[in-house]
Structure 1
Amino acid sequence: MQTTHFFKLMTIGAAAIIFSSCAKTNTQGKLIPKEAAIVIQLDGKSLSSKLPWDEIKQNPLFQEMNGDSSLPATLKSLLDNPDNAGIDSHADLMLFVIKDSMGGYIGFEGKVKDESIFKTFNKQITENGAESEKDGVQFISKSPVCVGWTKEKFVYVFDVPQLSQMDELTKRMMRDSIDVRSRSARDIGATCKAVFVLKESNSLAKDEKFTQLMKETGDIHFWMNSEELGKGGSSATALAMVNLDKFYKGNITTATLDFDKGKMLVKAKTYASEEMVKLFKKYSGGKINEDMIRRMPGKDVVAIMALNFKPEAIRELIKMTGLDGLINLGVEKIGFSMDDFIKANKGDIFFGLSDLVMKPDTTTYKFKEQEENISISEKPGFNFIFSASIGDKESFNKLLNAGKKIGREQYSDSSKVPVSFSSNGTYFALSNNKQNVDQYLGTAGTDFDFISKISGESFGGYLNIQTLLKSFGNLATKDSSAKIAYDASLKMWDNILWKGGNYSEDGIQQTIEINLVDKTTNSLKQLNQYAAKLSELYKEQRRKQKEEIMAFQDFESSNEVQPTVPAKSK
């Protein structure tokens, strides 16, 4: 009897261990190296139910691409129906990016629906690339791509040596002498084969953060490892030199995107290094100040952003960088210390933009002895307000006096200072006009309907896309093409709500809600319809450009000076 009881306990214990282990692993990451900088998962079943392929095929831009006579028949067959490639388009599709010493590579994987069709498709697309087989996995390789597959799974691997030059983008903007031609010594076939023999411990299958992401509901799942993404770049080396590597080491962002009815919903979580986690745990949990939002002056609010933080966290952040001595020296030169800055702040920040309109702006100019010319253009006019809650008043006055000193140094005439500011003992306010400052610091307030949707956490934001678009309405009516795009956008976009910042479940949570005007149709279907309208506009613009080019060429031909043939001498 005791033996039977013992075996029952052993069985229950073993089952508990197995289930606990399974809860921390996932199947989606088995063929993805743990060093992946970016991973995107597409839920094929959910996406195809919200936007069938037949609807995508009705998009004018899609039809134009599919109608291109130079497009190979193999690709046309794929565009007609992705299943014609032998893949299961209703299953999950995964894309991952790896950065390494040779630049990097991109992987694309999914489920095989018909092995024979899949093989035929890839032989055609690679123009009879080199075939091989290893441990039951078939491969077709032709640089820069290799595809491997079993009866159930396929993985494409694309060599991307240009990834090593990501850190050079800013340099290329300043000079054009950098050679961006791809040079790679990568054995793409060996790289693809290595993916299929990945040990689970070297994949994302055992990563608890990735497992948690895969459990979240969403049409699209996103993973970004900032440390891996910046690997090998000069910026990463520079950050490490000044002790700023703590801000990106272990920094991973995960997110899901849902295409709901009338809105797109993004839920994101950011993980950080051990030092940053300690800081978040110690100082998170605050809520934005709703009273500061209600005081927002102006008739038409375009955008607001509110933030709550613990001022003491600033001191610890600066100490982590090792730059505290240098920063203290700098601020003391203008009349206050870091302690003053921290004590002066109560930890609430607010910024708002309102009443955006386009106004005629007249510019007069004259060249040498020519007559005076007047140019009239549209210039945006708006009101803004910046405010902060006041902590220690004596420390705050030191900051205020330092600001006034800087203002006097830049503007000898105080009437030319482009901003106005004041305080009421509770809040400091700064705006582009005195009326806004006085109104903000007064007692009046407005219960905006968006406040309840962004409050409750340490930061919140709101963008009224309708108000933003309508402010440019007069400009859009001056051009027929712009009017089409404007009308389509006005019927599509409503507003954006953003909130988050608190630390929970080992990460910083945030949500972004993009709301559409049509609240009854799923947002993916609406995006396709919106893209269809813009693609019609794009096609029309291309047609006009071609006509203009042809007209110019005809004009040049008709005005071309014919060479004069010299007369023969008698």
Structure 2
Amino acid sequence: MKRTISKVLLTAVTAAVFLSSCSKAPDESRYIPKTAGLVIDLNAKQLTTKLVTNGITMDKLFAAAESKDTSNEMMKAWKDVENSGIDMQSHFFVSLVFQGQAAEHKSYVAATASLKDADKFEAYLKKTVADFSLKTQNDFKYIWEPKQHAVIGWSKSTVIYVSAVDASNLEQYAPGANGIPSPDEGEVAADSAIAAPAALKSTDDDAEIKTWVAEVDHLFHLKKEESAGAIEPFAKLLKEDADAGIFVNPEAIYNSGKFTMIPANVKKLMEGSFYTGTVDFENGKILFKGNTYMGKEIASIYKKYGKKEIDMDMLKKYPSENITGFVSYAFDFRMIGEIIKATGVDGIVNMAITGKSGLTMDDILNAFEGQLVYVASDFAITKKESEYFPGEFTEKPSAKWIFSLKVGNKDAFNKVMASPMVKEVFTREGDHYVAVNPMAAATMPPMSITEKFITLGSDSVLLQQYLAGKGSIKLPEGVEGKVKGSMLGGYVDLEKVINVIPEDKMSDDEKPVVKHVKELFKDFTVVSKNEGGDVQHAEATLTFKNKDQNSLVQLVNFGTEAAKIMQAKKAKEKAYEDSLFAAPADTTTAAQ
């Protein structure tokens, strides 16, 4: 009996653990190929739920449009989309796929979503797409959009949009950029150019259509091992079920024809490396998370040198309670040398360094431990008199600050300081180094260079206080606990930075926007730690003053208010311009 109960409990616990760790991936994700270099995921259900539950509707958003007519047009277009058959509560994926040589134009962008009603979607396309011409391929329908060089294909449950892109010149897709016409203008220009024979043009068009229809067909029928879901980091990203996510596959990008010049050993070094990131809008904050998955080659280098934590003493002895921000970093510079050696260019690097300094790459990298800190405080906008025009003052931002870098190997450091290039600038006096030229020293910030630290400061008083080590920084509650034990720690007090923005010189139209910004943000924190093995994890938090309301809602409210203010400003400017160019009243002067 006991044995039976034990088996039941064991089975239940195992099932619970399995289910909790294997949340279902969005159905739309299975149509993304593993050759995608970039994938963006928007969780529409979570995003809209967070807005709607806080009273944000599309009516409120469109109310901020430039004019009533524009707002009505936008609302009508949105209602059409809502009734288009697309599942607005699904995941929306956008993928950028790099493939083939650049001249072959095989790279493309794909958008994937779910359908609630395929018949409604077809009717929506008939209504909105000019020259709608329905075709069928295997188990899906499609239309060709010649203006966008795109195929829209759909089955009963999924829609896939594929459009060709020139991976060697993505900037050209910005309408009007750099004198490049918009898509419509481009077609007009093309039509007005030298006309190609109709039969030849038709053949080319047919070949292009067949190419992209075949690609859509391929995406609809991807095998499991062909999809991005077969890549473990991507699969893990989907299980996080964030509001938005991003996946980067560097290997898929540099293996495309666009990057054929990258040496094979560089590709080998980065093989198996991926990056994933998520964004979650929570009450009072936006949480960003990122994971860097290192491949075998780069992970072996990281395991040799990467296990470092920031030196909290370098941060905590900063003598101020009015901190604006800081960044602390622990990074073994010798890792850079290992990476350069792995790529096979260390000989070239050493030749370049030795020819000018007499040093080797290892000399320089061994000279520093890779512990650095930058701290700023007392940020303010102050009036400063011009050194060229006495009596004239300008307002400029100012702050107190310290930058400190820890020395590594003492012998290597002294060798660097005694090298031909450096000794022309600095010379040794006792246990420290000073500038050779007094005039040059006058233009440098106060500094201390010893065999232990290189430290620079905004002023000599602050520098000496920091070097004495008797000061004690006052960090906001919880910040020290977040950054302690990390490889990277950073903090910015946004409230202090934004509050010094002077409003007295702003127009009445600008003041409400600045006032709203001052009421919005509190601070920003970032940390990066090794998760063990081959994963580097980073988290960043943007905190809002209002802790009780969702951060996305606060951003939307700010955006709509700012839009209304800008709209009112434009209306005022237009009314003023109209009054200047208004025709005078007709008058008749009788000639006598």
Under TM normalisation by the shorter chain, which class is it? 0.7 to 0.9
1:57 aligns with 2:62: no
Deviation at 1:156, TM superposition (A): 2.3
Q: 1:504 aligns with which of 518, 524, 532?
A: 532
Q: 2:382 aligns with which of 359, 364, 372?
A: 359
Q: 1:387 aligns with which of 404, 409, 422?
A: 404
1:153-186 Cα deviation digits (max 9, x unpaired): 22222x24354303899xx99x879999589964
1:256 aligns with 2:272: no
Contact 1:60–1:535, Cα closer than 8 Å, also in 2: no
Deviation at 1:477, TM superposition (A): 4.9
Whole-Å Cα distance in 2 between the matches of residues 168 and 251 of structure 1?
A: 29
Q: 1:396 aligns with which of 386, 402, 413?
A: 413
Deviation at 1:61, TM superposition (A): 5.3
Whole-Å Cα distance in 2 between the matches of residues 284 and 92 of structure 1?
A: 37
Counterpart of 1:561 in structure 2 is none
Counterpart of 2:312 in structure 1 is 290
Counterpart of 2:367 in structure 1 is 344
Other structure's SS at 2:561 match: helix
Equivalent residue runs for 1:524-543 within 5 Å: 524-543=552-571
Whole-Å Cα distance in 2 between the matches of residues 205 and 446 of structure 1?
A: 47
Other structure's SS at 1:30 match: helix
Deviation at 1:211, TM superposition (A): 1.0
Contact 2:320–2:473, Cα closer than 8 Å, also in 1: no
In terms of mean alpha carbon deviation, does 137-146 or 186-195 score higher?
A: 186-195
What RMSD in Å do the two structures reach over aligned CA positions?
3.8
Whole-Å Cα distance in 2 between the matches of residues 197 and 540 of structure 1?
A: 52
Other structure's SS at 1:347 match: strand
Counterpart of 1:563 in structure 2 is none
Distance 1:156 1:549, change over 3 A: farther
Distance 1:398 1:353, change over 3 A: farther
Which amino acid in structure 2 is aligned with residue 113 of structure 1? K
1:201 aligns with 2:225: yes
Contact 2:268–2:297, Cα closer than 8 Å, also in 1: yes
Whole-Å Cα distance in 1 between the matches of residues 105 and 29 of structure 2?
A: 23
Counterpart of 1:116 in structure 2 is 119
1:446 aligns with 2:463: no
Which amino acid in structure 2 is aligned with residue 518 of structure 1? N
Whole-Å Cα distance in 1 between the matches of residues 577 and 214 of structure 2?
A: 49
Whole-Å Cα distance in 2 between the matches of residues 470 and 89 of structure 1?
A: 39
1:76-100 Cα deviation digits (max 9, x unpaired): 4441374311122122222222234
Distance 1:374 1:326, change over 3 A: farther
Whole-Å Cα distance in 1 between the matches of residues 42 and 526 of structure 2?
A: 24
In terms of mean alpha carbon deviation, does 62-71 or 85-94 score higher?
A: 62-71
Whole-Å Cα distance in 1 between the matches of residues 270 and 287 of structure 2?
A: 26
Contact 1:60–1:536, Cα closer than 8 Å, also in 2: no
Equivalent residue runs for 1:450-461 within 5 Å: 450-461=479-490
What number of residue pairs does the alignment pair up? 525
1:489 aligns with 2:492: no
Counterpart of 1:165 in structure 2 is 169
Which amino acid in structure 2 is aligned with residue 296 of structure 1? Y
Contact 1:123–1:140, Cα closer than 8 Å, also in 2: no
Distance 1:328 1:178, change over 3 A: farther
Unpaired runs of 5+ residues, structure 1, are 1-11, 366-371, 559-570
Q: 2:458 aligns with which of 420, 424, 432?
A: 432
Whole-Å Cα distance in 2 between the matches of residues 416 and 479 of structure 1?
A: 40
1:98 aligns with 2:97: yes
Contact 2:144–2:152, Cα closer than 8 Å, also in 1: yes
Distance 1:107 1:315, change over 3 A: closer
Counterpart of 1:562 in structure 2 is none
Whole-Å Cα distance in 2 between the matches of residues 247 and 534 of structure 1?
A: 47
Which amino acid in structure 1 is aligned with residue 293 of structure 2? Y
1:4-36 Cα deviation digits (max 9, x unpaired): xxxxxxxx9xxx9xx99x979954432112111
Deviation at 1:516, TM superposition (A): 0.9
1:519 aligns with 2:543: no
Whole-Å Cα distance in 2 between the matches of residues 470 and 363 of structure 1?
A: 25
Distance 1:537 1:65, change over 3 A: closer
Whole-Å Cα distance in 1 between the matches of residues 48 and 182 of structure 2?
A: 41
Contact 2:109–2:165, Cα closer than 8 Å, also in 1: no
Counterpart of 2:5 in structure 1 is none
Q: 2:129 aligns with which of 121, 126, 130?
A: 126
In terms of mean alpha carbon deviation, does 386-395 or 512-521 score higher?
A: 386-395
What TM-score results when the alignment is normalised by the length of structure 2? 0.77
Distance 1:115 1:230, change over 3 A: same
Deviation at 1:482, TM superposition (A): 2.9
1:211 aligns with 2:235: yes
What TM-score results when the alignment is normalised by the length of structure 1? 0.80
Identity %: 23
